[in-house]
């Protein structure tokens, strides 16, 4: 049984090494991200992006196929037994049936 204990001990030492390595890398990333000074940008490093002009093609509405389109008929609401509009939903939708 001593072999089993030695194998577990080796595994624990390996996991501790990996944990410490991940902790050190995390601390380095946090240190560089938050605590180091940022260098100011000079005129050569600034990149200006030109503005894009948006153009809408209204000529697409002159297509004769659009004149042949028909609109849908209006859908009437549900009617109850007495001809009145049916009540939709419940007072408390979270109650079980």
Per domain, the residue ranges of the chain are: 1-36
CA distance 4 to 10: 10
For 42-91, write each residue's pLDDT tens digit. 667 677 888 899 999 999 889 999 889 888 888 877 776 676 777 778 88
For 4-34, write each residue's pLDDT tens digit. 566 778 888 889 999 999 999 999 988 888 8
pLDDT at 36: 73
Look up residue 7 and give its two tokens: 């194998």
CA distance 13 to 8: 9
User: Which residue, 25, 2, 6, is CA-closest to 14?
Assistant: 6
For the chain, the C-alpha Rg in angstroms (whole number) is 35
């Amino acid at each position: 049984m001593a072999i089993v204990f030695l194998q577990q001990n080796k595994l624990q030492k390996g996991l501790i090494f990996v944990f410490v390595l991940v902790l050190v890398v995390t601390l380095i990333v946090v240190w560089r991200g938050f605590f180091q000074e940022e260098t100011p940008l000079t005129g050569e490093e600034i990149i200006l992006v030109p503005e894009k002009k948006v153009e809408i093609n209204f000529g697409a509405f002159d297509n004769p196929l659009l004149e042949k389109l028909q609109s849908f008929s209006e859908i009437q609401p549900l009617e109850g037994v007495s001809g009145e509009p049916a009540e939709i939903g419940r007072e408390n939708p979270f109650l079980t049936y």
